[in-house]
Chain A
Amino acid sequence: MNLFAVGISHHTASVEVREKMWLSEAEVRRALAELKQRYFSECVLVSTCNRTELYGIPSSGQPIDVSALAAFLIDFKNASSLVHPGHFCSEVSETAVHQLFRVASGIDSMVIGDIQILNQVKEAFSASREANAMGPIMNRLMQATLHVGKRVRSETMICEGAVSVSYAAVELASKIFADLARKSVLMIGAGETGELTLKHLVAKGISRIRIANRTREKAEALAAPLGGTVVEYAGMLEALTDADIVMTSVQNPTYIIGPEEIHKAMRLRLNSPLIIIDIGVPRNVDPATRRIGNVFLYDIDSLKTVVDKNLERRTAEIPSVNNILKQELDDFLKWYDALQVGPTIQELRELFEAIRQQEVDRNINRFTAEDRELVDLVTKRIINKLLHQPMTVLKEGTEGGNGQTETLWRIQAVRELFGITPRPKDTDDQG
């Protein structure tokens, strides 16, 4: 198979290099147009914050110099001062397909099981289609890649569990409350992790957000875009009474909340569960609070434990993901192997012959013994005449360039129209 993959990723390049090589949507389209003109009959360019990878089928039908492709991308981004061909790695044929499958499945991501990557790959294929850089192979590769992504997400647990501290806090809240949309959150302080957690909670539909901060302006700036309100920092303890989730991230040398305050609040709130997420360093909430019934207190370390456990679980899923990748790679290669003129013509002939033979056998008794040979001959001639034109068209224009792409489209169309499915691999081998 003549598929080439060239690119940089978090495995081969630092964040500065990756940033420099990142392509915007418009740049991707422009690059694809140029690449199609110079090197490929079909190509796709995946560019995210962690990778810029190019996949393509050479239009010449001949292997391409990988360093020329790397040089093209470096020139395109005008990045020769920072990036050099050594940052790139390349794959060819089956391993290139496998690499794309690995990317879509999330096991090649910096955070294993990254849920965003499948959408980014999908967008890359859409951009390729809009840039007129898709062909029959890329089209099928896109279907196979998206199928891999979906299977991996539904059949394994590679994407399950929070892998950031902010999301771990939300996951914990979801393990205690059934419906976050009916709960309220009180944030004390206005730290970055707290802000991220708030955004995740808003995404989960949390109904009421209140923020208390020593600098009121900061609290207002944070509350406004999230639809929250500001409470006075001095009045935060009263606000504990009707908050279901309390987040604290205040720079304070001593605890700002202790067991007494929580005991009092729990009495007033009829002992309904209270989650306290303390992400302040040093801690803002006295750990003794943990002993109070229906109070769930977490500090930054316990949240990190959640993240570590989830990452462990995701890593344990990699063998299952690899099994899916192997099955899908086999299917794709089987499809690709069948995409040849010779086998397609032979299978088309066999299909027609089988139908002819079946009909002749069914009706042969209606003819006299002398006519039977003639029936056989005439039906064979009809088949030959029917197949002549499609076969001639299939054999035409296989000399590279657009002719080759056109032939691939025709082969695919014939296979789909007549329902010719790829033969099992072992049968092919024996044949």
Chain B
Amino acid sequence: MFMESKVLVYALQIALPILYAGLVTLYALSFFWSVRAVDSVRIPALVGVIAAHLVYLVVRTLTFDHPPITSVFEIMTVLAVCIAIAYLYIEMRTRAITTGFFILLLALLFQTVSSLFIRDLVQIPDFLHSRVLGFHVSAALLGYTGISLAAVYGFLYLMLYHDIRSSRFGIIYNRLPNLETLETMSHRAEVFGFCALTVAIAVGVLWLPRVFKDFSYLDPKLVGTMAIWVLYAIGLAAKRKFGWQGRKMMIISIVAFGFVFFSMTVINLYMSGFHSFH
């Protein structure tokens, strides 16, 4: 039984990046070449991939007896599905399909990195079964999802901003929603991400020192996340106080996402767990 479910986990681990690649291709056909034939299959395909991904997460949880939140690559696969679900919600709610390619590209990136480097952890320390940890990680995941979406919308804003100002009326100009909509979407995702990250940091800072004897406030992940939080706090305060908007705010959201990606990938190359103290 264990072997069978392990095979399913491996099969889905390989299949998911391929499925996401197929999904991204569908959205690319729609965005770049206006292929209308994909319009009717887009949402069922997205729902199908999300369903397969959820099956993967459930089977993985049951097989290895822990939710996939104990290593950076486990977290990345959850982040990928969170981004896909968030996008499904956006598409169903706003019918704005033109940003799907870019957002799902990010989900593809996270899932590919996860599938390549994820390891089978059967024995995990007791503290990783903690409910507080689950809350901390869930809040962090929501925060990262918000940050990722804010960055994609920020990136799209900058592309369109640049094209409009330089009178380049190509595919970006024709297909993307207007600048104000992109800015609003980025801002909403940013506020959501910031709030969730605040909760994750607060829970982490209060709970982690009690569980880990060698807890350090100089943990690179904690420092990185705090830097992101401060960056966002400055951006949001500046928006409120000095009316910062448009390009400046979009650059902040992209830089913040750069920090997130850097802290999740590069910093983690030098650590065994998600944080330095476990």
CB of B180 within 8 A of chain A? Answer: yes
A290 to B245 alpha-carbon distance, docked (Å): 18
A272 to B247 alpha-carbon distance, docked (Å): 11
CB of A412 within 8 A of chain B? Answer: no
Q: Is the beta-carbon distance between A157 and B34 smaller than 8 angstroms?
A: yes
Given contacts A270-B242, A273-B246, contact A176 B169 (CB under 8 A): no
- Closest A residue to B160 by CB, please name it: A175
Chain B neighbourhood of A390, CB < 8 A: none
CB of A271 within 8 A of chain B? Answer: yes
Given contacts A157-B34, A271-B245, contact A175 B165 (CB under 8 A): no
A169 to B245 alpha-carbon distance, docked (Å): 23
Q: Is the beta-carbon distance between B247 and A177 smaller than 8 angstroms?
A: no
Given contacts A161-B174, A290-B165, contact A176 B179 (CB under 8 A): yes
Given contacts A174-B178, A271-B243, contact A155 B167 (CB under 8 A): no
Q: Is the beta-carbon distance between A309 and B169 smaller than 8 angstroms?
A: yes
Q: Is the beta-carbon distance between B178 and A177 smaller than 8 angstroms?
A: yes
In the complex, besides A174-B178, A175-B160, A294-B245, 19 extra interface pairs with C-beta distance below 8 angstroms are A176-B164, A176-B178, A176-B179, A176-B180, A178-B177, A178-B178, A178-B184, A271-B243, A271-B245, A272-B243, A273-B179, A273-B180, A293-B246, A293-B247, A296-B164, A296-B165, A302-B167, A309-B169, A313-B174
Q: Is the beta-carbon distance between B180 and A178 smaller than 8 angstroms?
A: yes
- Within 232-278 of B, Cβ neighbours of A (below 8 Å) are at 242-248
CB of B102 within 8 A of chain A? Answer: no
A172 to B167 alpha-carbon distance, docked (Å): 10
Query: Number of A residues whose C-beta is below 8 Å from B?
Result: 24
- Within 167-211 of B, Cβ neighbours of A (below 8 Å) are at 167, 169, 173-174, 177-181, 184
A237 to B57 alpha-carbon distance, docked (Å): 60
**Contacting residue for B245 out of A172, A272, A302, CB 8 A:** A272
A302 to B34 alpha-carbon distance, docked (Å): 25
A212 to B70 alpha-carbon distance, docked (Å): 65
Give 1 or 0 for each of A158-181: 1 = CB within 8 Å of chain B CB.
Answer: 000100000000001011111100
- Closest B residue to A174 by CB, please name it: B178
CB of A69 within 8 A of chain B? Answer: no
CB of B95 within 8 A of chain A? Answer: no
CB of A305 within 8 A of chain B? Answer: yes
A161 to B180 alpha-carbon distance, docked (Å): 19
CB of A306 within 8 A of chain B? Answer: yes
Which of A174, A175, A178, A290 is the most central at the interface, judged by chain B CB atoms within 10 Å of its CB? A175
CB of A298 within 8 A of chain B? Answer: yes
Q: Is the beta-carbon distance between A175 and B173 smaller than 8 angstroms?
A: yes
**Contacting residue for A175 out of B179, B243, B245, B247, CB 8 A:** B179
Chain B neighbourhood of A309, CB < 8 A: 169
Interface class of chain A by DSSP: mixed
Chain B neighbourhood of A177, CB < 8 A: 178-180
Chain A neighbourhood of B119, CB < 8 A: none
A175 to B167 alpha-carbon distance, docked (Å): 12
Interface positions of A (Cβ within 8 A of B): 155, 157, 161, 172, 174-179, 270-273, 290, 293-294, 296, 298, 302, 305-306, 309, 313
CB of B93 within 8 A of chain A? Answer: no
Q: How far is the CB of A152 from chain B (nearest CB, A)?
A: 13
Given contacts A172-B164, A177-B178, contact A271 B169 (CB under 8 A): no
CB of B36 within 8 A of chain A? Answer: yes
Q: List 17 A-B contacts (CB under 8 A).
A: A161-B174, A175-B164, A175-B173, A176-B178, A177-B179, A178-B178, A178-B184, A270-B242, A271-B243, A273-B179, A273-B245, A273-B246, A293-B246, A293-B247, A294-B246, A298-B167, A306-B169
Q: How far is the CB of A188 from chain B (nearest CB, A)?
A: 22
**Contacting residue for A178 out of B36, B181, B248, CB 8 A:** B181
- Closest B residue to A295 by CB, please name it: B165
- Within 96-142 of B, Cβ neighbours of A (below 8 Å) are at none
- Closest A residue to B177 by CB, please name it: A178
Chain B neighbourhood of A271, CB < 8 A: 243-246
Chain A neighbourhood of B184, CB < 8 A: 178
Q: How far is the CB of B90 from chain A (nearest CB, A)?
A: 15
**Contacting residue for A155 out of B36, B173, B178, B179, CB 8 A:** B36
Q: How far is the CB of B216 from chain A (nearest CB, A)?
A: 41
Chain B neighbourhood of A272, CB < 8 A: 243, 245
Which of B36, B160, B174 is the most central at the interface, judged by chain A CB atoms within 10 Å of its CB? B174
**Contacting residue for A294 out of B160, B169, B177, B247, CB 8 A:** B247
Chain B neighbourhood of A294, CB < 8 A: 245-247
Chain A neighbourhood of B242, CB < 8 A: 270
Chain A neighbourhood of B160, CB < 8 A: 175
- Closest A residue to B248 by CB, please name it: A293
Q: How far is the CB of B131 from chain A (nearest CB, A)?
A: 42
- Closest A residue to B163 by CB, please name it: A175
Chain B neighbourhood of A290, CB < 8 A: 165
Chain B neighbourhood of A176, CB < 8 A: 164, 178-180
A177 to B36 alpha-carbon distance, docked (Å): 27
- Closest B residue to A273 by CB, please name it: B246
Q: How far is the CB of A150 from chain B (nearest CB, A)?
A: 15
Which of A155, A177, A178, A290 is the most central at the interface, judged by chain B CB atoms within 10 Å of its CB? A178
- Closest B residue to A157 by CB, please name it: B34
Q: How far is the CB of B51 from chain A (nearest CB, A)?
A: 31
A157 to B33 alpha-carbon distance, docked (Å): 12
Question: When A and B form their complex, which 6 residue pairs have the shortest distance between CB atoms, in order from nearest?
Answer: A270-B243, A178-B180, A302-B167, A309-B169, A178-B181, A294-B246
- Closest B residue to A317 by CB, please name it: B34
A155 to B35 alpha-carbon distance, docked (Å): 10
- Closest A residue to B165 by CB, please name it: A296
A174 to B180 alpha-carbon distance, docked (Å): 9
Q: How far is the CB of B239 from chain A (nearest CB, A)?
A: 10
Chain B neighbourhood of A298, CB < 8 A: 167
A298 to B167 alpha-carbon distance, docked (Å): 8
